[in-house]
Amino acid sequence: METQPFPVRRVYDPPNEADGVRVLVDGLWPRGVSKELAVISEWPKEVTPSSALRTWFHQHRDEYEEFARRYRAELEGPEQQDAILHLRELADAGTVTLITAVRDPEHSHVPTLRSVLLEGTLEGKA
């Protein structure tokens, strides 16, 4: 059974052995979750939206495409690119699960980040 590259799970869901490397992709630590219960392997804050962009998005929820464009621009920075490369390298060795606390991961920064991560993989080049 082939797994989807960079699966997404909420931090409030119990950790699963199939998660592999659990990477928190939120800029802030999730409320009400201890580090022990979250079982987070890595927390690369470089790949999270800036505070300014996060604030902008909360005020402009109906402008997702503009948010995604701005977020992609942020991810072009050298520190962000280094972190993205690191996550892709981890994924070459096994499963890397993107962990988030957002209520609706499909309407957050996570799909944009996942898309950027996939662009450097075989699936992203297909």
Percent of the chain whose pLDDT exceeds 90: 88
Mean pLDDT of 87-115: 95
Q: Which of 55, 62, 54, 28 is nearest to 109 (CA)?
A: 54
Mean pLDDT of 13-38: 94
Q: What pLDDT does 5 receive?
A: 87
Q: Which residues contact 75 (CB under 8 A, 6 or more apart)?
A: 47, 81, 84, 113, 116
Question: Where does the pLDDT of residue 121 fall: very low under 50, low under 70, confident under 90, or very high at 90 and above?
Answer: low
Mean pLDDT of 53-77: 95
- Separation in Å, CA 101 to CA 40, 53, 78, 81, 89: 12, 17, 26, 23, 24
